[in-house]
Amino acid sequence: MLFISKRGNLKYLTEDFKRLYFGDEFCDRLLPGRDDLCGVMDHVQNRGLEFTFVTPYVTEAGLEKLEELFPLLPEKTEVVINDWGVLRVMKRRFPGLVPVLGRLLTKVKRGPRIVSFLDRLPEEAVKHLRKTNLGVPVYQKFLSDNNIKRVELDNPFQGIDLSDVPEGLRLSLHVPFAYVTTTRFCLVANCDRPERKGFIGVFPCNRECRRYTFYLDNKAMTTTLIRRGNTLFYKNTSIPAELENSGIDRLIVAPEIPH
């Protein structure tokens, strides 16, 4: 499966991919317009491929934009949600769309520093650091009650233990970019305006994140962090050895940082 956040990245859609993920997980200011969404869906339909629309956590303005975009999606289109308010709108107004739990709502320890001390921890502690919230019975019931049958996952350095995930819950693994943390305070905003140095806040968006990427190194980190817009990522190209027996039946490949 291929994941892109810009229409121009359809150039990566080769015959190796059977489904396209399109959208943004981290900022509602980067949601596609009607023309881009329709253009991407037409391209996918003409090639006989499956389509998944990806949505972020949202402000009220972002939610209104999604309410304009959702009617463009055919019945039974998958929609990745990273905001419970989006799920509520889908259930009330667009019940024909299929909700998929986004990786921002799938809780797992994400900090890459974990691997620097993993070998010094007791076995039970290591096991805990590899667990997700998908093993919590009340959360499993919540997903079932809301007809959520697929969950998106990151690929953390310490590995991921999915032994307590129900068999009926299908899983998708994102590679190679794992996200660490995200915020509405976009430190990339105004980064090319020297007179705005030191100003941090929620400013009008000029989509600087589509032009600039920052690589952050620190002795405390085991890997380079990548800042794209309001979100930090790191790159993990290793595929879990237990992939076939884990319930993961989709590998979501992002040729560029999905933001």
Closest by CA position to 103, among listed 120, 124, 80, 73: 80
- The β-bridge relationship of strands 225-228 and 231-235 is antiparallel
The tens digit of pLDDT for each residue in 107-121 reads 998 888 888 888 888
Confidence category of residue 239, pLDDT binned at 50, 70, 90: confident
Of the listed ranges 5-14, 101-110, 147-156, 221-230, the least confidently predicted one is: 221-230
Identify the sign of the CA torsion 29, 74, 16, 160: positive
Lowest mean pLDDT, pick from 42-46, 53-57, 67-71, 209-213: 209-213
Delineate the domains of the chain, giving CATH numbers in brackets.
2-178+236-253 (3.20.20)
Q: Is the peptide bond before 122 cis (omega within 30 degrees of 0)?
A: no
Q: pLDDT digits over 15-52, tens only? A: 999 999 999 999 999 999 999 999 999 999 999 999 99
The model's pTM: 0.90
Helix/strand/coil percent split, the chain, to 5: 30, 20, 45
Q: Which amino acid is at 8?
A: G
pLDDT 10s digits, 180-212: 999 887 777 776 777 666 666 677 777 777 888
**Predicted pLDDT of residue 144:** 93
* In the chain, alpha helices (H): 34-46, 60-69, 84-93, 123-129, 137-145
